[in-house]
Structure 1
Amino acid sequence: MTTAISSDIYAEHAAIETGSGYRMTYNFGNTPSADSLGSRHITQVYPEDSFSYKKGYGFLTEESRSSDSNLKINEINDGFQPQRWYSDSKLISPQADDNGVYLENGIVDDGYIPITFKAVVPHQGNYKVTLVLSAGDIPIKGITIFSGRRRLESLKGDYCPREVRAYVFNVNVCDIIPQGHNEVYTDKTIDITIIGSRPVFTTLTIEEFDTPTIYITGDSTVADCPACYPYYPESSYSGWGQFFTYYVSNLAAVSNHAHPGLNTENFRTEGHYNIIKKNIKRGDYCIFQFGHNDAKFSHLAADTGYTDNLRTFIDEVRSFGATPIIVTPLAGNTWNSDKTAYDDTMLSYADACKKISAEKHVPIIDLHQVSMDFIKRVGSSDAARYFYPGDCMNTNDFGAYLMSGFIAKEIKRIHDICPIPIRTSLCGKVYDPVMNLKRPMTMEELMESDDFVPPMHIHEAKEPQKK
């Protein structure tokens, strides 16, 4: 299989390494720090620094995206693209002050505008990212941080004037086969995206970090999905793997290779699994959640081809010294015609997962059961707010956050056999109707208790009326 992006496209700038591995600090703003003068490991970033592979770092703007077709491929970038009617606009126009580089107005048409900084790194693998943000004289609302292709790292932080915060998280850099492409794309970049009322970059440090990797496989219900900006989380597709990073501690990194349309067969035949086999090592994890697309093919029935393929995956992952984990298929918001009885379309595949788990002694996360319990408890209408508008199977960003939280809490419960490092301080925020009956049960109570819940009315992105 060919590689779509040649390694020599990446800048020589990224080859700078210390004796203990690569490390680079980016200072943002118009005034260079004393430390950055003459240092090979500190780079001053100005608001006019648009990204190019030759430069090796910079901001992703509408202009930079249009100048390089590679910057339009979601899976090797930040996962954001402008709405069609804003493709020739300049919504992303970075400015600078003493606190860093920022967007003056991070909200347009009641939706968020992302500011993304992209940097080339010398190797694929895991990196520790330390991001410092400073509010300056103006309070900032709703700061949310994504890494890579829209993977959630921090959620809805409000800053008081002059408040400074630091965030530490890990990012995996790995080859990927983007949706709609047949070739492996070499990726040696890290994207950090911030949204909020006035998103700002102050300093960013990227350094190589040896830590276990959590590989994720699956279909669209798991995948890293793109979003348009202005960004509305309720009308953006998202798989739970995209928001699982929020719950993983800085003792591991996530590498998500799930894509829409994949099943236990074409995940292998199309080359996605080869990327994992090339990189997985002892101490890593590999999560498998398939079923929705297997159900479309008779030879991948739950009790035949599907189980046979999962057994093979399990044996192969174990042969690398890694830990396989099965996740039962996400339940859909599927009901009978008058919405009075739930229609469980994935039961046979969930049962097959449990059978394989018992047979092969594999850790299992029963997402099917916990998601179905939630959907049945709140009802079809309220459950629909956690799914992409008009779609009963694929979640929006709110649903991905909720489902990944369910998974994190279950991993915490079975930690003895599935020691994925979870940020346990966050698990108390997860609404779990099965395991924590003291949590609220009504949608109104849920909205009051959770910090990331969908609005009552879905915002549909519409082209502004011309004046």
Structure 2
Amino acid sequence: MAYYYDFGPDSTEVSNGYTKVTAEDLYAPERGYGFTESSHVSALKRDEEALTGDFCIPFGSTFLADVADGNYIVTLTAGDAYAPTHTTLKSNGERSVLPDIHTVAGQYAREMFAVNVRGGQLKLSFGGLAPRVNVLEIVPSKEQVTLFLAGDSTVTDASEGGFPFSGWGQQLQRFFKHDVAVANHAEGGRSTKSFISEGRLDAIMKDIKEGDYLFIQFGHNDQKNDEERHTDPSTTYVEYLRKYVEAARSRQATPVLITSVHRRYFDASGKLTDTHGAYLDAVKQLAEEEGIVLIDLAAKSKLLFEAEGPDGTKSIFLWGERGEWSNYSSGVRDNTHFQERGGLRIAELVVQGIRENDLQTLIMYLR
């Protein structure tokens, strides 16, 4: 089922096949769509054009739409007949999909992006200096390539209210056109072992199909000592990694192994300290033995972090002073997880790896 929303004042006409959304339309389950709050949302009519002549101004607001799980192509029309606009958009909470949409007065941008919905609801969070939403079209698609991610907190999407925390997988969708949908199944605290025992690989297997990709990055929590997560790099770690590879191949999808992104630990000379050791070697050896595509994110992040140095990497990792971020009001010193800027920079390294490995089905759809 497709969903078509025309935003603007209640007094304006609605185009055939579209549902009118006003600034006062708060989300309710019986309605199935609406804004999470309306105190910062307003609506205006500029002219008589059916779809572009009116709009809502969703300043710092989130629009919800109840939709079936699956992949969608979402088309946003944004613009204003009288004024320049600047709109940013995140999907499913904090996932950046359209970072900067600029229009001049009288211009209308029509931007398309992909989204993978799980949990029966699409969340679109608007920002920007002068945001506008004229039209939203949400159309299901079975033709897209789906890029599945299995991993831990360095890969995962932030929870609502987690800003500025960001896994690199959270930033990956913005690099792709609407032909590729990123399905980020990564979850904080998981290892190759616990991810499987909790049924998360099974959830991927329900949807993955021929032509899709499964990117696999673990290691941070495989090092932990508890029985639920620990694996040995020379034995069980490799055995569990093979399960992901075999699962993808059983559906004619392409597995991609990714070495663990480094933590922020430097020695006295400014060189990065490797905290993953044999786990990195195990991934590389398995990739070579089985002919699996490898993105050596450990090597790439080492070059990046050493170039930035101990001080520069604070703007990559989740470091902040007291009062700098409302969600970490007492300050934070985290040498494992990333802030948004860092998640984006690591995602850029993953995209670099996609290009280097000549993954043409993905490369052709990069923005």
Shift of the 424–281 alpha-carbon distance from structure 1 to 2, 3 Å rule, reads closer
Selected match of 1:419 from 354, 357, 361: 361
Where 2:223 maps in the other structure, the secondary structure is helix
Structure 2 distance, partners of 1:136, 1:381, is 46
1:338-349 residue pairs with structure 2 within 5 A? 338=268, 340-349=270-279
1:327-378 CA-to-partner distances (Å, cap 9, x unmatched) read 1111121113x46332111232222111111111111111111111010012
Counterpart check, 1:119 vs 2:65? yes
Does the 8 Å contact 1:115/1:199 carry over to 2?
A: no
Counterpart check, 1:226 vs 2:159? yes
Other-structure match for 2:48? none
Selected match of 2:286 from 348, 356, 359: 356
Shift of the 370–320 alpha-carbon distance from structure 1 to 2, 3 Å rule, reads same
Name the count of aligned residue pairs: 342
Structure 1 distance, partners of 2:291, 2:265, is 31
Where 2:72 maps in the other structure, the secondary structure is strand
Where 2:266 maps in the other structure, the secondary structure is coil
Deviation at 1:27, TM superposition (A): 0.3
Counterpart check, 1:96 vs 2:43? yes
Counterpart check, 1:238 vs 2:166? yes
Other-structure match for 1:402? 345
Structure 2 distance, partners of 1:306, 1:167, is 42
Structure 2 distance, partners of 1:222, 1:214, is 13
Other-structure match for 1:132? 77
Counterpart code for 1:24: Y
After the TM superposition, which of the residue ranges 44-53 and 129-138 deviates more from structure 2?
Answer: 129-138
Does the 8 Å contact 1:147/1:193 carry over to 2?
A: yes
Does the 8 Å contact 2:93/2:125 carry over to 1?
A: no
Displaced runs of 4 or more, over 6 A: none
Selected match of 2:2 from 23, 30, 38: 23
Selected match of 1:374 from 284, 304, 310: 304
Counterpart check, 1:301 vs 2:280? no
Counterpart code for 1:391: D
Deviation at 1:227, TM superposition (A): 5.1
Deviation at 1:226, TM superposition (A): 2.7
Counterpart code for 1:302: P
Other-structure match for 2:313? 383
Selected match of 1:272 from 193, 197, 200: 200
Structure 2 distance, partners of 1:368, 1:136, is 49
1:48-77 CA-to-partner distances (Å, cap 9, x unmatched) read 11112210110112xxxxxxxxxxxxxxxx
TM-score (norm 1): 0.69
Counterpart check, 1:259 vs 2:259? no
Give the aligned CA root-mean-square deviation in angstroms: 2.0
Deviation at 1:422, TM superposition (A): 5.5
Counterpart check, 1:393 vs 2:324? no
Structure 2 distance, partners of 1:415, 1:32, is 53
Deviation at 1:137, TM superposition (A): 3.0
Deviation at 1:303, TM superposition (A): 1.6
Shift of the 207–256 alpha-carbon distance from structure 1 to 2, 3 Å rule, reads same
Shift of the 261–49 alpha-carbon distance from structure 1 to 2, 3 Å rule, reads same
Where 1:420 maps in the other structure, the secondary structure is helix
Selected match of 2:264 from 325, 330, 333: 333
Other-structure match for 2:51? none
Selected match of 2:213 from 276, 282, 285: 285
Other-structure match for 1:318? 249
Higher strand share: 2
Deviation at 1:157, TM superposition (A): 3.4
Selected match of 2:99 from 155, 169, 194: 155
Other-structure match for 2:50? none
Shift of the 150–190 alpha-carbon distance from structure 1 to 2, 3 Å rule, reads same
Where 2:34 maps in the other structure, the secondary structure is strand
Counterpart code for 2:158: C
Identity of aligned residues (%): 29
Structure 1 distance, partners of 2:3, 2:220, is 42
Counterpart code for 1:116: T
Selected match of 2:147 from 193, 205, 214: 214
Other-structure match for 2:21? 45
Other-structure match for 1:437? none
Does the 8 Å contact 2:65/2:122 carry over to 1?
A: yes
Counterpart code for 2:154: T
